[in-house]
Structure 1
Amino acid sequence: MHDLVKLIRKNIFSKKKSSSKQQVEYVLGLKLNNAPLFTRALSHSSSNNNPIENNERLEYLGDAVLGAVIADYLFKRYPYKHEGFLTEMRSKMVNRQTLNAIAIKMGLNNITFFNKHDNAIKNSQIFGNTLEAIVGAVYLDKGYEKTKKWVLNQIVIPYLFVEDLELVEINLKNKLIGWANKNNHQLSFETIDEKYDRGRRVFTVAIVLNGAPVTEGRGYNKKEASQAAAAAAIEKLGI
């Protein structure tokens, strides 16, 4: 698998390498009708600033399609649960941290085109965004019903363990604040960096515990960066 991914990175959709399309199909578990569409889905704006050729428009579409598929899945799985429960479960399943982790497990981080010299981008949630763009591409390539089946078989079943997610606290920032208050620690979230990447702001938020920095998180908004920092702190502190 490692050699395959390396080959994909070198030859993805190359006109000289007819096998690369099949290799991407293997990673996605899907037969592609429109290969250039998936090239665009895998192209972050840092590698191509043209909105017609990068994946931002597909990300927008995929976010909506993925939300609809997950909403339908939860509605049928939990016929007696109230709206608040369904909304919270959907948020747990499609939040940036969850999608980014799934994208990395799928190997999308190895075949996404982005500016690899910018560590802020590398450490943000762009691979989760790429996964949403892929969902958008699948929808355009296959239609809704086949996209729903692909999302369930390639994302939900192998990576989203719903029973475990029922027990997960969605707001990690609040969890960390509650832990600090209970144990009489001084905790703060500080925005330590803010810069533009191809017209989009990337924030870096640091968690400071009793005057000492603990972890940092990055994201395209302060909320996303704070949640990423909180998740890292909770893991580091063993909370």
Structure 2
Amino acid sequence: MVGRGREKCKDRVMAKKRDRPSSTAADQAPCPQMWVDERLGHRFRDLDLLRQGLTHASVHSGQEESSNRLQQHNERLEFLGDTMLGAAIGAMAFAYYPDADEGLLSRVKSQLVSRKTLARAWDAHGLQPLAIIGPQMQHPLPISVRANLLEGLLGAIYLDGGWEAVYEAVQRLLGPALESLGAEGVAADTKNALQMWCLQHYQRLPEYHCERCGGTDHDPIFRAQVQIADHTTTAIGNSRRQAERNAAAALLQLLQATTVGQ
């Protein structure tokens, strides 16, 4: 009898659990205002604006286009966020690379505002639970959707808090990516820039020659030479790749100076 009583009690508990409404994603989602404040440093005053910034157009797909619908999703805010993002990244790159020319600054900016970089920043800061998307969207969200959501959020931050607020948010989102580029990222990009320069002006690629010239097994030294037409530069590095990148940077600087002087 005791065993049957326990079974009946268990059945009643299970029945109550089945009768409860299941929790939705919205129930489990964090508070957007606090979430954004903790991660991006801005506490929204206008919560409707925050919601709009996080609402993807897929939520209202199939509905008739209207001014009311435009105010419900974030496509207009994406446009604004993209503009403010470019301005913030430009200012950050300008300060971080005081000796860089316009071409290098442009290349750094293009890397940081790419869809892939923005999607990574969205993921790295744990913003996925805030996304308001239509049921037809696949998971994980495509790179383009995550990037657009981030731009929409930045647009909302700008309207709610102004330039200082959006600049702070971009610094938190992409400051680590800017720092990770560092000298390594700039050097790698310089080698690509040299290649494009040579194709544009000489219709052929530069030629590299690299060999070990000293050092120890644990700390080798390599010398690289790069040539295009009658222009040649040489540089050293602790690896073949580094030596070639250093030589490429020197040759690109030489070519640009030669062109300016003509």
**TM-score (norm: length of structure 2):** 0.53
Change beyond 3 A, Cα 1:38–1:8: farther
CA contact (8 A) 1:8 1:20 kept: no
1:44 to 49, 56, 74: 56
Among all aligned residue pairs of Structure 1 and Structure 2, give the percentage whose two residues are the same amino acid. 29
Matched, 1:79 2:91: no
1:175-213 deviation per Cα after TM superposition (whole angstroms, max 9, x unaligned): xxxxxxxxxxxxxxxxxxxxxxxxxxxxxxxxxxxxxxx
Tell me if structure 2 keeps the 8 A contact 1:60–1:133: yes
Q: Aligned pair 1:57/2:76, yes or no?
A: yes
Q: Which moved more, 1:92-101 or 1:107-116?
A: 107-116
RMSD value over aligned CA atoms?
3.1
SS in 1 for 2:77: helix
Task: Tell whether 2:145 aligns with 1:133.
Answer: no
Correspondence for 2:27 among 1, 7, 10: 10
Q: Which stretch shifts more, 119-128 or 63-72? A: 119-128
Identify the structure with the greater helix proportion.
2
Please, which runs of 5 or more residues in structure 1 have no aligned partner?
A: 1-5, 14-18, 172-239
CA distance in structure 2 between the aligned counterparts of 1:147 and 1:94, rounded to whole angstroms: 15
CA shift, 1:150, in A, is 2.6
Q: Quick check: 2:78–2:152 contact (8 Å CA) kept in 1?
A: yes
Quick check: 1:145 aligned with 2:161? no
TM-score when normalising by structure 1: 0.58
Distance 1:32 1:43 in 2: 16
Q: Indicate if the aligned counterparts of 1:108 and 1:130 stay in contact, CA closer than 8 A.
A: no
Which residue of the partner structure matches residue 33 of structure 1?
45
Among candidates 166, 185, 197, match of residue 186 of structure 2 = 166
Unaligned runs of 5+ in 2: 1-22, 62-68, 193-262
Paired residue total: 161
1: CA distance, partners of 2:188 / 2:160: 34
Kindly indicate whether residue 137 of structure 2 is the aligned counterpart of residue 123 of structure 1.
Answer: no
Shift of 1:147: 1.9
